[in-house]
Structure 1
Amino acid sequence: MATSYPALNELFIFLNATLTQASIHYSKIPGSTILLKYVKNSYQNDPFRSLLELFLVFFALKYLFSKTYRTDNFVELTEQEVEELVDEWRPEPLVSSLTEYQKWELDQTPTIIGSQGPKPKLANGKTLINLASFDFLGFSTNDSIKEKAIETLRSYGVGSCGPPGFYGTLDVHMKFERDISEFLGTEDAIIYSQSFSTISSAIPSFCKRGDIIVAQVFLCLGLSDHSRICKGVQISRSTVKWYNHNDMEDLERVLKEIQDNAKNRRLTRRFIVTEGISEYYGDIAPLHKLIELKKKYKYRLILDESLSIGTLGRRGAGLTDYFNINSKEVDMIVGSMCNALSAAGGFCAGSCEITEHQRISGLAYCYSASLPAMLAVSATESLSILSQNPQLLVNLNENVGALKNVLENVKYIILDGDKDSPVIHIRLRQDVVNIADVEGKERALQEIVDEAMNNGILLARAKYVRLQELFYVEPSIRICVSAFFTRKDIDKAAAGIKNAIVKVFKNRSK
């Protein structure tokens, strides 16, 4: 053992000298210091990335120096064998077979003949009062908007067939961006050709891996417009924290936990994502409290106003107008042009830095064809009509109040939705209607929808893809009130819905 120490010392001396010489020679290579610094920082920030890069280098070297080979030993088949294989092959179906429940849902879906407006006509010739559409102002049948759209179609054609950043931007696009920015009171705005891709592109253009997003639990449910928010959150690969729906105490708890856990860690970008009017409950977000918390904990606020633009506030400018708050207090106002504005596409309004950044990093803006000119003009005309007719908002609020006054007294149901929200959800009262399973509740609600249709009212259940939901939501019928209807229409609709509910559950109790 004693004789081994000198040999070991000589080995250490040799290794030390070799490493020293290697370090001296490496330092003489141009750019070696930058490469070494990059490797150190990369390993410190993300060791998995360094291991992956090292693996790719070894794989490239092995592939480069490996021997080439050919596969010439093909199996020759006779014509008879080929025919037998073709006859035996059975392709997989492109669409899976419908379940019994899906067949039942499909059978209950009515067929509309002609345009879908506030009073559509069914295949059987019956005209209904439409309370299933997000056409809150009744602009889908407005003659002025139709004339402007037809005139623009004849002048500009159907579309530019190019992304906005190349040759797809037209003067009518820029006009709507100016108009919606002025309408909301922001510095600038940017429009997207699809409503779904607006917020799902805006979120990941700012939020990256390692950033923090704090969102409501019901923003990531299966089917409906909410899935666009969920996709944006997923694409961003940010760390997501959830807080209870419109519960500001729970939101502050989450923000405080993040703050406490973030000590001695690198600074990250942080965002609160919420919506103005909840599509699943019809209630209004407490914007004043959200702004207070985002300032206190240093967050940016992304507000989805797809359902509140054109429906809330003295001018219909959404939550900032409703709560009388300066719109510049909200970092990003995202909205849809498909609902109250009766067009297509979406917009994101905020500071000039917010919008210009999206023009070079918003994937849906950079790689999607621009919005057809006639739709941009339709949205501009809708804004103009709304600005010139504030009575529309008064009519909308009166219709909402009249409908709720009748339905609030029905013992079998509960109503979800704030008093000024045009979105109302009818849910079964559990202490009166004893239905435990989800499918049973859906069938009971569909019976109400069918009976209301017999009374001349078009309703729709809120649909969900249960297997894809992160959180459970109680089945409901979603009612969307429109300013288009007269008081007589609303009284008829309220009485028809009430009679349908009472009749369904009286028949069930027999």
Structure 2
Amino acid sequence: MALSLSERLSRELSHLQASGLLISPRVLHTPSRAHVRIDGQDVINLASNNYLGFADHPALKEKAAAYLREWGAGAGAVRGIAGTLQIHEDFERQLAEFKHTGSALVLHSGFATNQGVLGALLQEGDLVVSDELNHASIIDGLRLTKATKKIFKHADIMDLERVLQENDTDGLKLVVTDGVFSMDGDIAPLDKIVEVARRYGAVTYVDDAHGSGVLGADGRGTVHHFGLEHADDVIQVGTLSKAWGGVGGYAAGHADLRELLINRARPFLFSTAQPPAVVGALSAALEVVRRDPSLMQRLWDNARYFKAGIESLGFDHLGSQTPITPVIFGEAPAAFEASRLLLERGIFATGIGFPTVPMGKARIRNIVTAEHTRDDLDKALEAYGTVGRDLGVV
């Protein structure tokens, strides 16, 4: 007799509950900022990806409202039929100029972008070599292709070269890596990756979800951090939902990349275009970051200060190099309990366990932003010290 839907749901939820891995997302009752309200409590927010404070920025809201009034609530169709508004193409030119690439195309999310771009590029007989810690959207995107898939050890250039030496193809060769790894906060050694990839005739594909708006001049990203702009053999993808404060994904690179994706990327072909208000907010984000360099300066000042404080308390943050600061608690129940205790002390920071991170490496991932004050960070560090001692972690 077939398993019923109720039985399947009950079994899976019970298993998650018993494993200490069942999550229930907190609900914010205010806009996403450095301070938010949860369950009637005003707390310091260390859980969002709102690096530059753009999610509730006045300039973004003003331009979003203007586009909403002028262009309407929605685009009305997929881009390839009747959904491409002039503002979509204007923003994509703005984005390509910002990224110093020959072209750019916007999709609906970073996840959809990886599925769309990898699916459009890779064919049977191609070879793709992927970092073992790449984001789930890369993993799922690669699963949908018929390319030969190989893994190299995380950020290990010697192992990347070994894999490329042992595998060859007459098709396209693609080396795929995150720019910034979202759970550990480390930066891919992109200069060395590109050097090795070129030696073996491979193209480099960089998911810069957590690098855009954070690294490089004006926040242009990891590619620019390593001085690799204007390179036609480097493809940049990422989100527009983290530092840029909105929602969406993008692909930027070779001048012909955009045209191929318009014709082959299934998430682009079969999804209604982004609403005008979103386009307006994203356009404003690029304008603001270029005219106000103090935002990135404050972001990095805050990141360095918080990391130094976490280190002095005796926590392990895995040597994070970016504003992502993981604090290791070991097993998932301990990380979830630490998150609960921090919230009691006015700090909103989310516990993360397996399968998002390896077993035994459960953590709280903190992201400081340009909006946080030194007083915010001091209060957070004080709370971490208390919770860490109470749980026997420090």
TM over 0.5: same fold? yes
What letter corresponds to residue 93 of structure 1 in structure 2?
S
The answer on 1:211 being equivalent to 2:114 is no
| Structure 1 residue 191: Cα displacement | 0.7
The answer on 1:246 being equivalent to 2:155 is yes
Task: Give 2:381's aligned residue.
Answer: 494
Which of 336, 344, 347 does residue 250 from structure 2 map onto? Answer: 347
| Structure 1 residue 228: Cα displacement | 1.5
Task: Give 1:422's aligned residue.
Answer: 323
| Structure 1 residue 192: Cα displacement | 0.7
Task: Give 1:393's aligned residue.
Answer: 296
The farther-off stretch of 154-163 and 170-179 is 154-163
Of the two, which has the highest radius of gyration? 1
Change (3 A) 1:272 1:472: farther
For residues 319 and 42 of structure 2, the distance between their equivalents in structure 1, rounded to whole angstroms, comes to: 27
CA contact (8 A) 1:314 1:390 kept: no
| Structure 1 residue 330: Cα displacement | 4.6
Task: Give 1:504's aligned residue.
Answer: 391
Task: Give 1:153's aligned residue.
Answer: 68
| Structure 1 residue 329: Cα displacement | 5.3
What letter corresponds to residue 206 of structure 1 in structure 2?
L
| Structure 1 residue 484: Cα displacement | 0.9
Q: Which has the higher contact order (CA 8 A, sep 6+)?
A: 2
CA contact (8 A) 2:197 2:203 kept: yes
Paired residues in the alignment total: 390
| Structure 1 residue 323: Cα displacement | 2.0
For residues 24 and 268 of structure 2, the distance between their equivalents in structure 1, rounded to whole angstroms, comes to: 38
Task: Give 1:9's aligned residue.
Answer: none
For residues 71 and 234 of structure 2, the distance between their equivalents in structure 1, rounded to whole angstroms, comes to: 34
Deviations along 1:118-153, one digit per CA (max 9) or x if unpaired, are: 211012x21111111111111111122112212222
| Structure 1 residue 320: Cα displacement | 2.4
For residues 277 and 450 of structure 1, the distance between their equivalents in structure 2, rounded to whole angstroms, comes to: 27
The sequence identity of aligned pairs, in percent, is 27
Higher relative strand content: 2
Change (3 A) 1:362 1:100: closer
Task: Give 2:197's aligned residue.
Answer: 294
TM-score (norm: length of structure 1): 0.72
The answer on 1:143 being equivalent to 2:58 is yes
Which of 247, 260, 264 does residue 357 from structure 1 map onto? Answer: 260
| Structure 1 residue 95: Cα displacement | 6.1
Three-state SS of the structure 1 residue aligned to 2:316 is strand
Task: Give 2:284's aligned residue.
Answer: 381
What letter corresponds to residue 414 of structure 1 in structure 2?
D
Deviations along 1:387-425, one digit per CA (max 9) or x if unpaired, are: 1111111111111110011111233x3112433x11121
Higher relative helix content: 1
Deviations along 1:83-102, one digit per CA (max 9) or x if unpaired, are: xxxxxxx9642861231753
For residues 260 and 282 of structure 2, the distance between their equivalents in structure 1, rounded to whole angstroms, comes to: 24
Aligned counterparts, 1:85-484, within 5 A:
92-93=5-6, 96-97=9-10, 98-99=13-14, 101-102=16-17, 109-123=25-39, 125-219=40-134, 226-258=135-167, 262=168, 267-328=170-231, 330-411=233-314, 413-419=315-321, 421-428=322-329, 441-465=331-355, 474-484=361-371
CA contact (8 A) 1:402 1:491 kept: no
CA contact (8 A) 1:200 1:232 kept: yes
Change (3 A) 1:108 1:271: closer
For residues 107 and 353 of structure 1, the distance between their equivalents in structure 2, rounded to whole angstroms, comes to: 43
CA contact (8 A) 1:291 1:329 kept: no
For residues 109 and 144 of structure 1, the distance between their equivalents in structure 2, rounded to whole angstroms, comes to: 29
Deviations along 1:350-378, one digit per CA (max 9) or x if unpaired, are: 11111111111111111111111111111
| Structure 1 residue 337: Cα displacement | 0.4
CA contact (8 A) 2:232 2:254 kept: no
CA contact (8 A) 1:305 1:335 kept: yes
Change (3 A) 1:176 1:94: farther
| Structure 1 residue 483: Cα displacement | 0.9
| Structure 1 residue 380: Cα displacement | 0.7
CA contact (8 A) 2:21 2:353 kept: no
Q: In angstroms, what is the RMSD of aligned CA positions?
A: 2.3
Change (3 A) 1:464 1:156: farther
Change (3 A) 1:417 1:457: same
| Structure 1 residue 107: Cα displacement | 7.7
Structure 2, unaligned runs of 5 or more: none
| Structure 1 residue 112: Cα displacement | 2.4
Deviations along 1:51-72, one digit per CA (max 9) or x if unpaired, are: xxxxxxxxxxxxxxxxxxxxxx
